[in-house]
Amino acid sequence: MAAIVPAILPVSQEDLEDKLAALVGLVDSVQIDIVDGRFISPASWPYRTESDKGLPSFAGKTFSHLGQIHYEMDLMVSAPEDVAGTWVEAGADRITLHVESTNYLPKTITDLEVRYGHAKDFAPELLAIGIALNIQSDLAIIEPYMAQIDYVQFMGIATIGKQGEPFDTRVLQKIATFKKKHPEIPVQVDGGVSLQTAPALLSAGVERLIVGSALWNAPDLATELQKFNELLHQYGIYT
């Protein structure tokens, strides 16, 4: 099912809450980008510096607006195996792990499946697990994980962890190559997604568009979301 998913790169808890409040009633899902300052930088909330583990300030808490918003976490962090569970317990039902961020990806996925009751083809609506691939990385490095994951997120920009970066057209060929081999695996793109770049992505078979600065820099958030959803309809795609 196609979807437009706003991305929030929070600088503080207050910033997160303000953006969530603006989205309630407009969308079903939100992606929260978490950057620890070590895998990539600069750090985002809840991290402050490269030496700050960040999560103790949020551990044991849950997201606001649960039941109104589905939460997706894009974990741009070193050792995501150490923190992914915290975000599931906070209410996230989609976890994106960057394949370049850990040497323990199979174990991390298995641990999430076992601990939180997720089983592929059993109850993916309870917890979907995906892997993200940087645009410079070879497609071959994600091949070993196809049987374990629910979706692939292609990064559409060369420098991840920042909003407003220019779209990198190399992602279109990567998607085409991947889709030819794995037409059954859903694909989403994060980075550089705008009303100008979305048509090429939809034509390439992308099911979910993760949109950051194109929404937050728009004069009116609701109007911009409507334009994106109208684009889905133009392509015969329905949310």
Supply the pLDDT for residue 115: 87
pLDDT tens by residue, 183-211: 999 999 999 999 999 999 999 999 999 99
Supply the pLDDT for residue 234: 85
The Cα 46–Cα 13 span in angstroms is: 7
Q: pLDDT-derived band of residue 56, with 50, 70 and 90 as boundaries?
A: low
The pTM is what?
Answer: 0.93
pLDDT at residue 218 tops 90 = yes
DSSP code at position 53: -
Q: What percent of the chain is modeled with pLDDT above 70? A: 90
Using CA atoms of 197, 201, 206, 209 in order, give the dihedral in degrees to the nearest 10. Answer: 0
pLDDT at residue 143 tops 90 = yes
Using CA atoms of 137, 143, 145, 150 in order, give the dihedral in degrees to the nearest 10. Answer: 90
The Cα 171–Cα 160 span in angstroms is: 13
Q: pLDDT-derived band of residue 216, with 50, 70 and 90 as boundaries?
A: very high
Spell out the domains of the chain, with CATH numbers in brackets.
3-234 (3.20.20.70)
pLDDT tens by residue, 83-103: 999 999 999 999 999 999 999
